[in-house]
Amino acid sequence: MPMTIMPPKKISLVLAGSPQLAVPAFEALWRDGRYNIVGVLTQPDKPAGRGQKITPPPVKVWAQSHNLPVWQPEYLPSWLTIAQEIKPEMIVVMAYGQFIPSSLLNLPWLGWINVHGSLLPKYRGAGVLTAPILNGDRETGISLIRLTKKLDAGPIIARRVIPLSPIETSGSLAAKIANEAALMLPDVLYQYAQGLLVPKEQDESQATYVGLIKPQDARIDWRKSAVEIERFIRAMQPKPGAWTMWDGQRLKIIASEVADSAGFRPGQVEHINNHLVVGTGQGNLIVDKLQLAGRSVLSGEEFLRGYPNVVSALWS
């Protein structure tokens, strides 16, 4: 009689994530026949938007569309009993947003595997989308690590390099990371589970840390150079959005480019060849798109036509 070959056992996974960034990778794992998704951990529903309507995180919406169990603990240690009951072999984390306590960290025998959006040990912390753009890096990437108690310091299972374009924004980089994670995870996690990939300790001497930028931190400092401010605007786009003050109003700067013209005073606004040009600490900046609070997005030329009194004003 011919020998029957049994299919390999599926790896049981819990997925832990919250924003849209995690959805493509989770979808790729859900579609892969080597995995059994037993449920999803995500943040509690929270108020969002102008109306502060209670809104579920995108990962919850995705999980419900696939009829997957969803857990949203306010206090993660309270999930321990459930975790002990379902006994996942691995928990895959991508932008979950909660600290993993020691009581849970060693529960799955394959560990908590985190998808981090940088080439670790560079850029540990939450500001992985903004930091490489602010610093003018030519590339960033994804690191797959096994979580430990120390922030983003776990051993590295695999890394993938992501080139950065000269017009990269945090939004476009997030899309690249989401796409690369979806391509990378299914095979890499399976190889790791089979013992084919051995995690390697990080070089602590090379570690750097970057924090999350809050809305109040996104104010433009016109004393900086045009090159630095142009990067800053891209790094803040789409959230939290770079802004400045004019005529008592908050003005969001959405897109810009470094100008060739001679420099004006920092924050000084001028009209040159149908461009809205602002002086900086070194050189000038052409503002291509901007938006007053509660108003539509306008091009620099449209803004000059609608608000001619902006010329010769000082933004701060």
Q: Which residue has the higher pLDDT, 276 or 99?
A: 276
Q: Which residue has the higher pLDDT, 261 or 33?
A: 33
The answer, yes or no, to whether residue 65 has pLDDT greater than 90, is yes
The CA distance from 31 to 37, in Å, is 10
In Å, what is the CA distance from 161 to each residue of 73, 76, 181? 34, 32, 11
Predicted local confidence at residue 117, as pLDDT: 97
List helix spans (H) across the chain: 23-31, 58-65, 80-86, 102-105, 131-134, 170-193, 226-235, 300-306
Task: Note whether residue 181 is domain-resident.
Answer: yes
The CA distance from 236 to 130, in Å, is 7
Predicted local confidence at residue 227, as pLDDT: 97
Mean of per-residue pLDDT scores for the chain: 94
Could you say which of 182, 206, 230 is where a domain stops? Answer: 206
CATH code: domain of residue 141? 3.40.50.170
What's the whole-model pTM score? Answer: 0.94
Instruction: State how beta strands 35-41 and 70-71 pair.
Output: parallel
Q: What is the pLDDT of residues 242-272, one digit of tens each?
A: 999 999 999 999 999 999 877 789 999 999 9
CATH code: domain of residue 254? 3.10.25.10
The answer, yes or no, to whether residue 2 has pLDDT greater than 80, is no
DSSP conformation letters of 82-107? HHHHH--SEEEEES--SPPPHHHHTS
Predicted local confidence at residue 8, as pLDDT: 65
The CA distance from 278 to 288, in Å, is 11
Contact criterion met (CB below 8 Å) for 282 and 275: no
Instruction: Tell me, yes or no, whether 148 and 69 share the same domain.
Output: yes
For residue 37, the enclosing domain spans 11-206
The CA distance from 178 to 201, in Å, is 25
Task: Note whether residue 5 is domain-resident.
Answer: no
Q: What is the pLDDT of residues 75-88, one digit of tens each?
A: 999 999 999 999 99
Mean pLDDT along residues 113-135:
97
The CA distance from 131 to 135, in Å, is 6
Instruction: Tell me, yes or no, whether 56 and 147 share the same domain.
Output: yes
The total of structural domains in the chain comes to 2
Task: Note whether residue 255 is domain-resident.
Answer: yes
Instruction: Tell me, yes or no, whether 200 and 225 share the same domain.
Output: no
Instruction: Tell me, yes or no, whether 195 and 281 share the same domain.
Output: no
Instruction: Tell me, yes or no, whether 111 and 50 share the same domain.
Output: yes
Mean pLDDT along residues 191-197:
95
Residues in the chain: 316
Predicted local confidence at residue 6, as pLDDT: 42
Percent of the chain having pLDDT more than 90?
91
